[in-house]
Structure 1
């Protein structure tokens, strides 16, 4: 990054920090604890926990509650850990994942998370409606839904501060409901003996045909998926590094105690038959039923309110990073810091989904998106811990098993609840990731991807060092290309690209003896970028030396100790003889360093022609014509020719020259060679006579590949271009290639 770009990036960060400082208004209690607590203490607590206890028994129910809360607690611990290691911005989980694994991964999780939060609003409104119709059965359901949505939308549109003030009132209502439940112990209501382990009879909707432990777990688990309610406000917290860990974990702890204690209360106040058939046990057995009804309405309303406030914040963060086209519109903030454009779109989606009238079909998908988000947060921390990078210095540290178990737990829960929807959700995330990868997003901050890949490379390097050095089956073309001038490289670019694509690499080494080598550096960088655009791994460097030969030899020796070391030296033989001695000396040193050689002699007239045909010339093998694993100086030539054949979609011939009595044996040998080398679509060709004479009459090709002698006559090699009327590449094996492997 140049100086101007760095200054622009710094200025942008300062502007963002200033804007976020204006927005940050909320503390731990109001910004994180209350919305998280109210979202967890939702409709399942009031309407479904009795059914869970009735099916599983008290111990089974406690086990289910504990298992659900352990999974979300591990996620909350991971979220707390990573939050204290980064400067978290708007978007909550999206910001955490993006700053760790990049915008593509963050966006692929952030988009479904936003949709899940949005459609969850609709589900909460439906839950509120059910409680309302319990009190007022004569009211029209659609009217109730629209009125509740209108209130939620107006509150969210006006101000998040107003929403939080309303949540304080709802918190008081829910506390009153729980007091009404607890006070019933003084009326003698807890008279039934405890069923410690249930028979899992099922539900009245399926005529009590029986259910499994995991089906009951799947019913209760969504109650614990409200832990992101506070984190969604990350961009508007006074101190997110403190508020998110403290507020989230304390809300989870209190919620867990509430679920465990109300589970015990339910097991004592009602018989098992009533627990599994009557969803209104808490209302019927509380000291004052209206308080519990108020708690039920308050719980669903507060969950919807937290989501309609949090979801637009995720959309605003997605738009700010241009995750989707036209996202700039939703990144805009009103004068009071509210993302009103994002609120309007969210409201529109909720209103449209309300008109569908039934989201039960996709309800499990909403839970899957939450679980994928939790899994990714755990995975981020697990990766960061395993990398042991110095940048990972969270002030809230957790044991290494926590994110691992959190990741496994979330993945396990996804497929326990609904394996089909689990696969659909994962597929949606993968498709979104592929789409975002093709969008070439501009990353506004650093992430840990480079560190992750470096760690993987280091691990691979250590593993490879314990394996045999010469692995013929893993061979790839890794070219070292000495460069005198950018013009020379420009003429060779296409050929070099096709010699290494797709899995090979190119190391460009510029030789500059000038004081100002900036032009060469810029050219090499541009060429390296061009190779990378072709999906070829490329590096470049410039050696300040007036002696081309010494510079190349130093490069050869130095790069032998690197992990991605070159295995082929690519040289271009000019038409003039000025560099002949230099080139001969360099090739000798390359052989001593066990490197293959590709010496390219250009056809100045035809260039590479149509890039439609390739000839490989091999020595005749008389008298034995024995095919063995040691073919002599043939392997690299054939591998090179095959590369060109595939990348050019070209015709490939393998040619040998023999005396007339050997023709049949020669064809048999070539066919056997092509069969063992697994090259069935290559044409064997045998010429009769003298090699130099035959070259003029052989089938025409755009490139001819020939063996490079130990001590070549470079003038003679140049003459072959005229003889064949094509470009020639003279090839010498390193001994590590094998076309038969």
Structure 2
């Protein structure tokens, strides 16, 4: 970094602009561009006076709503450098702000070349002998020089441009009277036109780009003295003044020429104004002003994005001079405009990409309106703007901008949206760090709150919506590490895990490692949360947690508890009783230290004898959770399931098999699931069961750690012992 450049920062020596010179003038001069001179009459010739007024009204309605939305946001937050980038990023995050404003910046930079081409065409209409290439690069060099000197110098250039545009409009107004060789207003306006050049919406599509300069002043937010005051007043004043001018020009065109003349003669203002040369000068001034405004405003958007790491070479592009001029960003913008000029000289390429640029402007307008609408709908206390608008305003602006996009160029609209989505995904991968908080978490929280209220208002029944949501109470990180593979298999892909770490006096180090499991599980796509609770009594901490979760909407539905033969059986029974009282299913996990989870290929589910009533009903007696867990594990392990039941009476074997097969069918278990019926005493047939990597048993009425350990030893596998909560259904 040279001595002349420094990182972007506020500096009291930097000139600050007010409402008139910083916002109103650049916005007004951008809106009153070449389209005003060359297309207003054409619109009237096609649509008639009333049709033209309707088109102007609709177009200005979208920009007015956008301006009002911008004014609302500007009075609610501290708008930083970059205008729309600052507004969108502070509300929806850097990723959204960047994905919208990178193409918006490119569109602004490319538009410099468009305005210069328009200037050159106007110049050659006056001086046809001047070489077009020479005119193009001369105007480009002048624009770059003015912008490069300082934004203050560029701002001073706007005053003579304003005078020229104002005088040209005065000359047009004089054309209403029979003066200076003009016939004046001699025609009766055609109220509804014949639309010879296209439909109403096609005419609207041609006209709409005329009013897309509403962000010209907002982009200068970093150079404004009081953005919170300057942006609303300057933007809305420019929109209002330009609206009156366009409506008046439509009436002027309707009374000074016939519809046929208006459609065929695009320079009707030059021909019917009191001083045609003044209108020609106005066209040149308007196109030069638009090019200059883009060349001054675009680098500040790039600088703001660079300062937050949205674009490469951020440190260099974010630098500025002691006077606050973003010279590196200006050089990049100038280079893009120069390449675009060369591209335009090579053929008709500029006209081919022009609609895409308009789309990026419109998407930016849509998102700005969407930001305000979201803030209003969420009703967060942080949204308390000094300037408030009804919800209808941003809604109309949002819908209008989106409709305008697809009316003007549906294919380019899709291309623009796809581009923004791709950019968003790229920026997501870069994990940008914003120095501010945004409303995204509040947005999803509001949606979740709305969903919770709607759900609670409906008839209760969670069996069809069941998915594993585990509460895992542990006293050390080691306990989670031992059952990590199983927890992954049981919750992937849509389950969740709530880890409750309890510690006593001086034992905090044992549970600190649990905090890292949020990120570990998240990296595998599983939602996990960890809470550390200080308590001398494990059961008391768990009971309190269960009672708290009972009234929560997003609460765990299953208690997962690693157990061992050395645990206290009375304490375990206390935990089971509390889980039942709080309608939680139970999974007691006892691993085999020698085999672990084995090859994760076979699962045995042991179902108790159902005689004499072997019918499969909607409510299974403590079988639902076992079947659901088996299905979940089989899906993630790609394992096969054995449903096993033991009958003492051989006469019941056929009923038992029919029951299991019906259970497989109605429960929609995997096709490889086998039904196995053993005859004899449970303890006698247990060793004869197929070898499995996991055995699933039901929890007895009273938990017996001795029985559990015996099952682990006899089956030579890890075992889980489950109990339904009553909110699961394997048949739902």
TM-score (norm 2): 0.94
> 1:504-559: per-residue Cα shift (whole Å, max 9, x none)?
22222222221x46535633322223233333332332333212112211211121
1:622 positional shift: 4.4
> 1:256-286: per-residue Cα shift (whole Å, max 9, x none)?
1111111111111111111000000011111
Deviation larger for 135-144 or 307-316: 135-144
SS at match of 1:688: strand
1:158 positional shift: 2.5
Match of 2:335 among 341, 345, 348: 348
What is residue 675 of structure 1 aligned with on the other side?
665
1:498 positional shift: 2.6
Residue 553 of structure 1 pairs with residue 540 of structure 2 = no
1:294 positional shift: 0.9
Residue 697 of structure 1 pairs with residue 660 of structure 2 = no
What is residue 390 of structure 1 aligned with on the other side?
381
What is residue 5 of structure 1 aligned with on the other side?
none
Counterpart mapping for 1:155-304 below 5 A: 155-186=146-177, 187=179, 188-202=183-197, 211-304=198-291
Please say if residues 518 and 529 of structure 2, whose CA atoms lie closer than 8 Å, have aligned partners that are also in contact: yes
Deviation larger for 541-550 or 229-238: 541-550
Deviation larger for 65-74 or 151-160: 151-160
1:653 positional shift: 3.3
Q: Residues 126 and 664 of structure 1: is their aligned pair in 2 closer, same or farther, counting only changes over 3 Å?
A: farther
> 1:300-354: per-residue Cα shift (whole Å, max 9, x none)?
1111111111111111111111123433332222333222222222222222222
1:400 positional shift: 1.9
What is residue 644 of structure 1 aligned with on the other side?
633
Q: Distance in 1 between matches of 2:386 and 2:500?
A: 44
Match of 1:55 among 27, 34, 46: 46
1:568 positional shift: 0.6
Q: Residues 681 and 316 of structure 1: is their aligned pair in 2 closer, same or farther, counting only changes over 3 Å?
A: farther
Q: Distance in 1 between matches of 2:652 and 2:422?
A: 59
> 1:421-472: per-residue Cα shift (whole Å, max 9, x none)?
2222222222222222222211211111122222222211211111223221
> 1:362-386: per-residue Cα shift (whole Å, max 9, x none)?
2111111111111111111111111
SS at match of 2:321: coil
Q: Residues 497 and 351 of structure 1: is their aligned pair in 2 closer, same or farther, counting only changes over 3 Å?
A: same
Residue 542 of structure 1 pairs with residue 525 of structure 2 = no
Q: Distance in 2 between matches of 1:43 and 1:347?
A: 22
1:360 positional shift: 1.4
Q: Distance in 2 between matches of 1:626 and 1:668?
A: 9
1:494 positional shift: 2.9
1:490 positional shift: 2.2
1:96 positional shift: 0.4
1:63 positional shift: 1.0
Please say if residues 483 and 508 of structure 1, whose CA atoms lie closer than 8 Å, have aligned partners that are also in contact: yes
What is residue 309 of structure 2 aligned with on the other side?
322
SS at match of 1:192: coil
Match of 1:92 among 83, 103, 108: 83
1:727 positional shift: 1.0
Counterpart mapping for 1:375-524 below 5 A: 375-514=366-505, 516=506, 518-519=508-509, 522-524=512-514
TM-score (norm 1): 0.93
What is residue 646 of structure 2 aligned with on the other side?
657
**Mind listing any 5+ residue stretches in structure 2 that lack a counterpart?**
1-5
**Mind listing any 5+ residue stretches in structure 1 that lack a counterpart?**
1-14, 203-210
Please say if residues 366 and 401 of structure 2, whose CA atoms lie closer than 8 Å, have aligned partners that are also in contact: yes
Q: Residues 645 and 320 of structure 1: is their aligned pair in 2 closer, same or farther, counting only changes over 3 Å?
A: farther
Q: Distance in 1 between matches of 2:324 and 2:644?
A: 75
Q: Distance in 2 between matches of 1:303 and 1:692?
A: 89
1:100 positional shift: 0.5
Q: Distance in 1 between matches of 2:443 and 2:480?
A: 33
Please say if residues 100 and 447 of structure 1, whose CA atoms lie closer than 8 Å, have aligned partners that are also in contact: yes
What is residue 154 of structure 1 aligned with on the other side?
145
Residue 606 of structure 1 pairs with residue 595 of structure 2 = yes
What is residue 122 of structure 2 aligned with on the other side?
131
Counterpart mapping for 1:702-713 below 5 A: 702-713=693-704
What is residue 309 of structure 1 aligned with on the other side?
296
Please say if residues 600 and 728 of structure 1, whose CA atoms lie closer than 8 Å, have aligned partners that are also in contact: yes
Please say if residues 81 and 220 of structure 2, whose CA atoms lie closer than 8 Å, have aligned partners that are also in contact: yes
Please say if residues 708 and 730 of structure 1, whose CA atoms lie closer than 8 Å, have aligned partners that are also in contact: yes
What is residue 3 of structure 2 aligned with on the other side?
none
1:683 positional shift: 1.9
Q: Distance in 1 between matches of 2:37 and 2:271?
A: 11
Residue 563 of structure 1 pairs with residue 553 of structure 2 = yes
SS at match of 1:569: strand
Q: Distance in 2 between matches of 1:170 and 1:266?
A: 24
